[in-house]
Amino acid sequence: MDEEPERAKRWEGGYERTWEVLKEDESGSLKATVEEILFQSKRKRVIESHEQVRLGMMRHLYLVIDCSRSMEDQDLKPNRLTSSLKLMEAFVDEYFDQNPISQVGIITTKNKRAEKLTDLTGNPKKHTAALKKAVDTVCAGEPSLYNSLSLAIQSLKHMPGHTSREILIVLSSLTTCDPGNIYELIKTLKSLKVRVSVIGLSAEVRVCTVLTRETGGFYHVILDESHFKELLMMHVKPPPASSSSECSLIRMGFPQHVLAALTDQDAKPSFSMSHLEGGSGGPGLSLGGYFCPQCHAKYTELPVECKVCGLTLVSAPHLARSFHHLFPLQAFVESPMQELQGDRFCQACEGELKDKRARVLNGIVAVCPDLGIGNHGNLPWHPVRLSNEFKHFRTMTATSSVTVSCEAMASSLPLLLLVLCSLTAAEAQLRLYNLRASGLPSDLMGITDGYVKVFCGSAKLGETSVNHNNANPWWTEEFSHFKAQENGVLRLEVHDEDTFFDDLLGVCQRQIKVGTHEHDCYLKEGGTLHYMYTLSV
C-alpha cells in the first residue's frame, strides 16, 4: 500500500476523471459516446484476432449457468435468468452454425450444488429445448464454482488430446460456496489444459480473475444486454490451440441419407442409436436415416459420434463451415476520405461513403464502417469478393451459361469449398426392378441364356442370374443404389452366356428422373428389354 501514495488502488485508475470521456451530441444525448466506446473496443479485438494462429476446430464446451438467488435481479429485463437463457439459445444456434463438428453441454448451479442439464452432444435442438425448460427454474441459494468445475472435468478429462476443452461460466453472484480448495482445482484444470472463461453479470470477483488467468481464458463483466450478447458471441470463434496439444489424423465417416417411403415393400422401420441412448420423446421407429459406413448403425441427425464403432460421422458442408476459421479476414485500416482515389462508394454494398474515414484493405478496397468491423464477426469471407463473385454468378445465370469459370471462383478458396459442397447435385435412392425381356435371338449354341448387367454412372450395381434356354426371360432380382443423382445415366447390358465367351445383345442407356418410370428398350441384336425404376430424393 505504501507504493501507491495518492491513488487508493490500481483498479480505480480506470475510473479517474470519467466525466472527461463523455461528450454530448447535438441533441444533448450521451448515447453516441457510449456507442463509440463499444465500437472502439470491438475494433481492438478484431485487430488483435486477425493473425493466423493454430485453432482448435473440434471443441468440447461446457456452459455453466448461475441459477442462484441473484439471478432474480431485474437489471436485465425481465430478470437476469430469463435474459441469460434467451441469449444462450442464440449462442447455441450460432455456435453450432460455425462449429458443426463440436459439442456442448450445459450445467446449472444453485443451492451450493451443480447439476448437469445436458450432456456433451452435437445436437443443438436438445440444448435449446433444455434452455427453454430452464426458464421455470426457481432461483435459490448460492452458486458453487468448485462443484460446477468438478462436474465438467469428469467429462472433459476423457476427451482426446487433439480437441479443445473449454468451460464458459455465466456468473451473477458475487460469492461462491465451495466444499474444497478451489485454487487446487484451478491447478488441476491447468494440468488438464481446460480453458475457463467467465462472464460476470454483477462485478469482478477475485477468484474468477485467478481462474481465467491461470487457465488461459477471458473474464469480462457486462455493461448491458447488448454487451452481454457481444461477449457471448466472442466465444463462438474457435480459440487458439495450445502448442503442446496433440496432432493426429481424425477418421471420419460421411454417411448418405437413405430415404424410404411407406409404399416401399422392402422398407423396414428401425430404431436409431440416438433414440435408444437419449430416450428421445420423438418416434422410436422410423424409415431411412444416416447409416454409419463402418458398422451400419443408424442415426437421424449429423454430426454425431457413432456409439458402436466410435467413428465421427459428418457431412461435407459441416467441414466447409468449419474451414473458414482457418483463413480469417485481414484487419481493415482507417484512411482519410481525401486519400481515396476514384468514386467514394463502398465496393461491397455500393452505398455512398458518408463517414469521414473509410475502412481500407491492402490500400485498394474501401468499405463502409459497418462492414469494416462487423464483417469480421458475421461474414467469414471478403465482402467485396463475395459481391463480385455473386454478380458474376448472376450474369452467368442470366446468359444461360452452364460452365462455371474456375478463375472467377478460385479467388476465394473457402467460398469455393462451400459452393462446391452446397451446390452438389442432390443424392437420391434408385430402385430398379421388374426386369424382363422378349424375343431374344438364338445363336449356334441354341436358345439364349440371358442375363443383365446393371450400372449407374460409374458404379456397377451387379448383374442378374442367368435364365437358361429362354427367349422371353423374367428376372426377379432388384437393384438399389443410394448414391444416385437425378439426370445420372442408368446403363443396362443384356448378355447371352456361352461356353467360351458371352455375347453382348444390346445396351440400354437412359438419364434417370425423379419418380417411378417404366421403359421398353430395343436391343441391337434383336429383342426387347422391359424394366421399371423409382428414383426418390
pLDDT tens digits, the chain, 537 residues: what are they?
444 444 445 555 544 555 555 566 556 665 555 566 666 666 665 555 545 544 556 889 999 999 999 999 999 989 999 999 999 999 999 898 888 888 999 999 999 999 999 999 888 888 999 999 999 999 999 999 999 999 999 999 988 777 889 999 999 999 999 999 999 999 999 999 999 999 999 999 999 999 999 999 999 999 888 889 989 998 988 877 665 555 566 788 888 777 665 445 556 777 777 666 554 445 567 777 888 888 888 888 787 888 888 888 888 777 766 665 555 556 566 666 666 655 566 665 666 666 655 555 554 455 555 554 444 444 555 554 545 544 544 454 444 333 433 333 334 444 444 444 444 445 678 899 999 999 999 877 778 899 999 998 888 899 999 998 899 999 989 998 888 888 888 999 999 988 778 889 999 998 898 888 999 999 988 999 999 999 886
Give, in degrees to the nearest 5, the angle at Cα 335 between 330 and 338. 145
Kindly give, in sequence order, each residue whose CB lies less than 8 Å from that of residue 199, ignoring residues fewer than 6 positions away: 168, 169, 170, 171, 220, 221, 222, 228, 231, 232
Q: Which residues contact 450 (CB under 8 A, 6 or more apart)?
A: 437, 440, 466, 467, 470, 473, 494, 495, 496, 497, 505
| 176 neighbors 142 (Cβ within 8 angstroms) | yes
Other Cβ atoms closer than 10 A to 21? 11
3-state SS of the chain: helix, strand, coil percent to 5? 30, 25, 40
Lookup: cell for 222: 457486462
CA quadruple 502, 508, 511, 516: dihedral sign: negative
Nine cell digits for residue 90 = 442464440
pLDDT at 532: 92
The SS3 of residue 165 is strand
- What's residue 369's pLDDT? 54
Q: What is the pTM of this model?
A: 0.58
Residue 48 C-alpha from the chain's centroid:
25
Q: Letter for the amino acid at 100?
A: P
Q: Is 127 helix (H, G, I), strand (E, B) or coil?
A: helix
Give the pLDDT confidence score for residue 361 in this predicted structure.
54
Where does residue 109 rank: exposed (0-12), middle (13-18), buried (19+ CB within 10 A)?
buried
CA diameter of the chain: 116
Which domains, and CATH codes, for the chain?
A: 53-233 (3.40.50.410), 262-320 (no CATH), 327-422 (no CATH), 427-536 (2.60.40.150)
- β-pairing, 289-291 vs 257-258, is antiparallel
pLDDT value at position 38? 62
Q: Cα dihedral sign for 353, 355, 360, 364?
A: positive
Q: Cell 455493461 sits at which residue?
A: 223
Residue 338: what pLDDT? 62
Q: Residue 1's pLDDT is what?
A: 41
